[in-house]
Structure formats: structure tokens, C-alpha cells
Amino acid sequence: MNGLISIYKRELTSYFVTPVAYVFIVIFLFMTGVFTFYLGAFYESNQADLEPFFRFHPWLYLFLIPAISMRLWSDERKSGSIELLMTLPVSITDAVVAKYLAAWTFTAIALILTFPMWITVNYLGEPDNAVILASYIGSLIMAGGFLAIGSCISALTKSQVISFVISVVICFMFILSGFPMVLDLFESWAPQAVIDAIASFSFLTHFTSIKKGVIDMRDVIYFSALITFWLYVNVVIVENKKAD
């Protein structure tokens, strides 16, 4: 536990000693604004809720989360600091979880900084703030899913660029599998059970109810299982690749 906390603290502070963190947060806030007001037609909808804001989170995360996760393990391997880390008295699992939690906390900070959006909608109308809170929590959980994939992939390679690209591709597949267009491809020939299975793997499917402010246990279980799976694979990869 001590090792986990020490690494978590080190990782989290390391985000803020370089300008990268601030650049990331600015881009994140800018993009959420663009998506919500232009693509989401926030004003035109004449509805006092944040649905147009949350609707685009999967797409935003698709690129921004791999940008956070790409360096998690690839940098550690490239610089050789992994040898230091793995010879300190800490288990690989603790190190993986600590780095992951630090990245997740950083994401949470970026998400919290979108609060002007919430102030705006409260200024314009009378939204259901419980729904908004639930949507925020759901969005953060989904971000955790993207991050677990990204963290795992970053252990596969010493190159941050490769880590980024592969993570985006895999995350994209996890979004795409719930897309009507993709499901239509299977509609004509595959049994409904297969289509449901494919759709059930999609972040979109699980995010649909979340963005309306409904936190369904099944969605939480889905994301928890997904995160656990990818972090487990992450540990296995670090174990096998640490000295390469």
C-alpha cells in the first residue's frame, strides 16, 4: 500500500511540473466547448440540460485519453527508469494501479474544470442537477475504461507515438461496435444474440443511459470488468517486457 501511494503521488505531481498538463486541460476545455455549442447545438435545443455536452465525451476521450496514457509505461521503458521502479520494494500490480489511478485523477481534474458549463446551464434555466452529477460520474467511469486500455497498450512499446495510435484504434473499435451502421452490417445475417453481444461491448451502448443521468449497475459492472481486464493484461505485459 505504501508503494502504491508513493508512486501515485509521484505520478500525479509529475503531470503538473511540465506544461503538457496545462496544454492538455486547455485543449480539453476548448474541445468540450466546440462540441457542445456547435455540434451539440446547445442553445438551439432550448433545453436546460447538459446532454449535448456529454453526448460527445466518447469522441473527445477517443483522442485525449490516449494522449494522457501514451507515456505511462512506454516512457518508463524508454528511459530505463523501469529498472529503478521494479527494483524498489513495490509489486508490479501496485505500480500499474498507482500509475493508472494518477492518470484517472488527472482526467477527473480536467473534467471538474468544465464546471463553467454547469454554471451556464444553471444560469439559463433550471436543469436537473442530480442528472448532471450522475452524468459526470458516468463520464468519469467511461474515461477510466479508455484509460485502462491506453495504459495497457503503453506497456507494449517504447514509442509514445505507436502507443497513442494503437490505443486510439482499439478505443475506436470499442466505440464503433455499438454504432447503428456497424450493427446494420451484422443485422442481415447474424443472430440477434451475436448483435447484442457486439453492441454490449460498446462504450456507446453503455454510455447511452449514463449521459441521460441514469447510472445502471450493469453499466458500472461492465466498465469495472473492462478496467480490471485491461489492467490485468497491463501487469502481465510489464512483467514480460520490463527488461526488453
Partner 1 sequence: MSQAIKIKSLSKSFGPIHAVRDVSFDVGHGEVLGFLGPNGAGKSTTMKMITGFLEPTSGTVEVDGHDVLEDALSVKRSIGYLPEGAPAYGEMTVRNFLNFIADIRELRGSTRNQRLNEVIETINIENVIDQTIETLSKGYKRRVGLAQAILHDPNILVLDEPTDGLDPNQKHEVRNLIKKMAKEKAIIISTHILEEVDAVCTRAIIISSGELLFDGTPEQLIAKSEQGDIDHAFRNITMSKTIKS
Ligand X SMILES: Nc1ncnc2c1ncn2[C@@H]1O[C@H](COP(=O)(O)OP(=O)(O)O)[C@@H](O)[C@H]1O
Q: Which residues here bind partner 1, judged by CB under 8 A?
A: 2-3, 5-7, 9-10, 13-14, 17-18, 79-84, 86-91, 242-243
Select from ligand X, partner 1, none the partner in contact with residue 159, using the beta carbon and a kind-dependent cut-off of 5 to 8 Å.
Answer: none
The smaller minimum CB distance to partner 1, of residues 20 and 131, is found at: 20
Select from partner 1, ligand X, none the partner in contact with residue 79, using the beta carbon and a kind-dependent cut-off of 5 to 8 Å.
Answer: partner 1
80 binds ligand X (CB under 6 A): no
CA–CA distance, 143 with 152 (Å, rounded to integer): 14
1 binds ligand X (CB under 6 A): no
The smaller minimum CB distance to partner 1, of residues 3 and 127, is found at: 3
Select from ligand X, partner 1, none the partner in contact with residue 218, using the beta carbon and a kind-dependent cut-off of 5 to 8 Å.
Answer: none
Please list every residue from 185 through 244 that binds ligand X, using CB under 6 A: 243-244
CA–CA distance, 23 with 107 (Å, rounded to integer): 13
CA–CA distance, 188 with 183 (Å, rounded to integer): 9
Select from ligand X, partner 1, none the partner in contact with residue 1, using the beta carbon and a kind-dependent cut-off of 5 to 8 Å.
Answer: none
The smaller minimum CB distance to partner 1, of residues 12 and 199, is found at: 12
**Could you say which DSSP state residue 89 is in?**
S
Taking the complex as a whole, the smallest distance from the CB of residue 151 to partner 1 amounts, in Å, to 18
Taking the complex as a whole, the smallest distance from the CB of residue 235 to partner 1 amounts, in Å, to 14
**Could you say which DSSP state residue 40 is in?**
S
The smaller minimum CB distance to ligand X, of residues 44 and 244, is found at: 244
CA–CA distance, 178 with 100 (Å, rounded to integer): 26
Taking the complex as a whole, the smallest distance from the CB of residue 92 to ligand X amounts, in Å, to 17
Exposed, middle or buried by CB within 10 Å (0-12, 13-18, 19+), for 100? buried
Cα angle 195-222-111, degrees, rounded to a multiple of 5: 115
Question: H-type helices in 125-216, by residue range?
Answer: 129-154, 160-176, 180-187, 192-200, 203-211
* Nine cell digits for residue 82: 523501469
Which helix (H) or strand (E) covers residue 173, if one does? helix 160-176
Select from partner 1, ligand X, none the partner in contact with residue 191, using the beta carbon and a kind-dependent cut-off of 5 to 8 Å.
Answer: none
Residues that bind ligand X (CB under 6 A): 243-244
